[in-house]
Structures are given as C-alpha cells and as structure tokens.
C-alpha cells in the first residue's frame, strides 16, 4: 500500500489554494447580504477585511468575544457589546430581553472576565404594545439579577411603524478580568483537549420551531443562561491550563472551532459520537437538513484546556448545575493548520468547514 503520487501541476494548484486560504479575508462584496450577519465566512470577511484594518488596535486584532482594556497596574477590564434582533421576541425558554443580558454576560465570561455591569439601549417600533415592553423589561431585570450584573445606563429610541420589528436591543457589558487565567484565541497548542459544556443546537432549534414555518411539533427550549458559573468553576479548577473559551452562538460549535483553528494555526479532530444532541434537536435538524454543529446556542461554551488540566476542568464543569452533560469532544492537533476534522459516528473522517451562507437569519 502506498499513497498515490502528486504531480507537479497538482502540487502547484494545492499551493495556490493554500496561499488563498492563508490570506486574511478580504471584503469585496458590493453590498451587505443576510450572510454577513450569520457568523460564518461572510461575517469573517467583514470583520477581518473591513473592521479590524480600520480600527486595528491590538485588543481588537485578538478578535476575542470581549476586548481587554488596561487600567493602571490591575488586570484591567473587558468590554463587549452586542445587539439583539431575534424574531419572534418570545420563544420557548426565553425572550429577546433575556438574550440581551445573557448574550453580553457570556461574551464577558468566556473572555475570562467577571461580568459587572451592562448598558441597555432599546430601539422600539411605533405602536409596540406597552405590555410587550413591560414583559421584556421584567425579563431583563430577572436575567440581570440571576447573572449578578447591574444595568447602569440606558437609552431609548423609537422608530416609525414598519421598522425594528417590535424591538431591537443593544447591550454593552463591562467585566473585571480574572487573574486566574490568561486566555487567547491564538494560544491553542497541539494536544489541548476540547470541552463542550452540554447538548448543542437548542436555541437555534427553539427559534426555528417558534416561527411556525415548518409545521413540526416538538418541544425544544432555548438554552439561554449565564455562563459565568461554568467559567468560574473552570477558572478555579484549571485556570493556568485554560487556553481559550468561546460561547457557541451564531454559527454554532463548528464556527467556534474553525475560528480558533485559524487563529492558532492548528487543526482539530472532533469525535462526532461524543457530541451531545437532544433527540428533538437531532430530529428537527435531520428533517430540515441542518447540521446541529452549525446551529446557535445561547448557553453553551467550548473550552480549550492543556492536557494536564483537562480532567479537573471536566470534573469541575460537570459539577455546575446545567452542565451535567459536559464532555470532551476532541483534541487540538498540528496538521492541517486552520482546519477542523471530524471523525464521524459512521467511521469516516471529513472536514467540518466554516459556515457559508445563512441557514437561519435573526436568531439572536
């Protein structure tokens, strides 16, 4: 047995592809389409090809979920912002208000910062029922209290009927950077273990079913929740061994893995059979032809841990309420850099690529 030879010409073509892949994404599209907001390849061209070159500080270039701001000698703070345009406003397991708190809290948490305070901007559509607004304000207050953050500033705008679909919410969050770990998207090392905090695809599936476009009867609830308790436990158990964490929102776990494989120039091998997916989520994904690995979560994190700390990290994670099903799903490797491979449950191996296009717009 031997590997078939590669001709010079094929080698040259492979070289061209390699170079093209390695290049920083360029933003060349003539207009914005829905896929620029989907968290996949098009979003990446926008960030890497337009935003980072324009604003290009060191903190932004890290492309973490929250940016680090140094303050004197202390560990400094982390700052993040997010906007919420989910449709419908309420769905099983949560609502736009709850997302607006947890989503921003989670961006701080996975950046290794204890969430402290949020700002809240509301963009409301003329004619919105006050009861709808009141319900979201209650949801925001409850989620903030559960996550231990305070809403310290806000703004309200109203736009004409026909815009903003009821309401859009923007929150910014500030957190205190935690000294227990030094996290970086480019810090992954071959051998690192990949941990996942629980079953995937619930938020995206819940929204999809709530839109009632598919006439599927299934009860799936969004997993929206604060990830700080999970992060806190990981920092305690394996702080120095933690390389990076991400919450697997738009684009799902697959997008997180691809982003970090590129950022650290490593490859990853994921065991498909180890990934927990609830039967209702798996069933809906099967029917709609969607891979749960690309479906959004709002309360799941992926953590990359040095092998020496992986066991303690997983034990600590599974002890956190809501993370009982946390598992190790794979490991970081060297070849081929920038790519994520999956060992399928059927036994074959394939590439799990970045998301192209938008399977489901306005999910958060």
List residues binding other proteins (CB under 8 A).
1-4, 6, 9-10, 13-14, 16-17, 20, 30-35, 41, 213-214, 279, 282-283, 286, 288, 291, 336, 341-351, 353, 356-357, 359
219-241 as b/e, with b when 16 or more CB fall inside 10 Å? ebbbbbbbbbbbbbbbbebbbeb
Shortest distance, position 24 Cβ to other proteins, whole Å? 14
d(CA 134, CA 150): 18
Nearer to other proteins, 143 or 254 (CB): 254
Burial of 208 (0-12, 13-18, 19+ CB in 10 A): buried
Nearest partner of 207 among 101, 90, 299, 289, judged by Cα: 90
Contacts of 13 (CB under 8 A, 6+ apart): none
**Distance of alpha carbon 222 from alpha carbon 204, whole angstroms:** 7
- Indicate the residue among 32 and 315 with the shorter CB distance to other proteins: 32
CB 281 → other proteins: shortest distance, Å?
11
Note whether 229 and 296 are within 8 A (CB).
no
Tokens of 129: 């029922």
Question: Smallest gap, in angstroms, from Cβ of residue 356 to other proteins?
Answer: 6
61/269 with CB nearer other proteins: 269
> What's the min distance (Å) between Cβ of 226 and other proteins?
32
- Asked whether the beta carbons of 89 and 169 are under 8 A apart, the reply is no
Between 191 and 283, whose beta carbon lies closer to other proteins? 283
Smallest separation, CB 14 to other proteins (Å)? 6
The residue assigned the tokens 């991400």 is 246
> Whose Cβ is closer to other proteins: residue 231's or residue 261's?
261
> 87-97: b or e for each residue (b if 16 or more CB lie within 10 Å)?
eebbbbbbbbb
Q: Which is nearer to other proteins, 173 or 359 (CB)?
A: 359
- Shortest spacing between CB 33 and other proteins, in angstroms: 5
């Amino acid at each position: 047995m031997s590997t078939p030879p590669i001709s010079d010409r094929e080698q040259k073509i492979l070289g061209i592809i390699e170079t093209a892949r390695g290049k920083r994404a360029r933003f060349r599209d003539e207009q914005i389409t829905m896929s620029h907001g989907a968290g996949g390849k098009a979003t990446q061209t926008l960030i890497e090809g337009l935003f980072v070159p324009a604003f290009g500080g060191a903190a932004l270039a890290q492309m973490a979920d929250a940016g680090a701001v140094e303050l004197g000698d202390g560990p400094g703070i982390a700052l993040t912002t997010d906007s919420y345009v989910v449709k419908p406003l309420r769905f099983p397991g949560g609502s736009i208000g709850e997302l607006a708190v947890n989503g921003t809290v989670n961006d701080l948490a996975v950046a290794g910062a204890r969430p402290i305070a949020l700002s809240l901007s509301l963009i409301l559509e003329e004619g919105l029922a006050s009861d709808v607004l009141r319900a979201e304000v209650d949801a925001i207050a409850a989620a903030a209290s559960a996550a231990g953050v305070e809403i310290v500033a806000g703004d309200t705008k109203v736009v004409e009927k026909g815009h903003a679909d009821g309401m859009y919410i923007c929150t910014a969050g500030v957190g205190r950077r935690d000294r227990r770990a030094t996290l970086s998207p480019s810090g992954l090392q071959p051998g690192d273990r990949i941990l996942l905090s629980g079953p995937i695809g619930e938020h995206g599936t819940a929204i999809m079913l709530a839109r009632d476009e598919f006439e599927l009867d299934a009860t799936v609830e969004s997993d929206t929740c604060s990830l700080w308790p999970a992060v806190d436990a990981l920092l305690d158990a394996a702080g120095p061994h933690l390389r990076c964490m991400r919450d697997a929102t738009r684009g799902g776990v697959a997008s997180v893995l691809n982003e970090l494989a590129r950022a650290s120039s490593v490859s990853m091998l994921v065991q498909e059979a180890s990934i927990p997916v609830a039967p209702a989520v798996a069933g809906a994904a099967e029917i709609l032809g969607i891979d749960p690995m690309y479906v959004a979560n709002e309360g799941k994190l992926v953590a990359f841990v040095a092998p020496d700390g992986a066991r303690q990290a997983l034990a600590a994670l599974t002890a956190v309420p809501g993370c009982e099903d946390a598992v190790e799903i794979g490991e970081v490797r060297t070849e081929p850099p920038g790519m994520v491979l999956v060992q399928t449950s059927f036994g074959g191996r394939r590439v799990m690529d970045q998301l192209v296009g938008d399977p489901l717009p306005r999910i958060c």
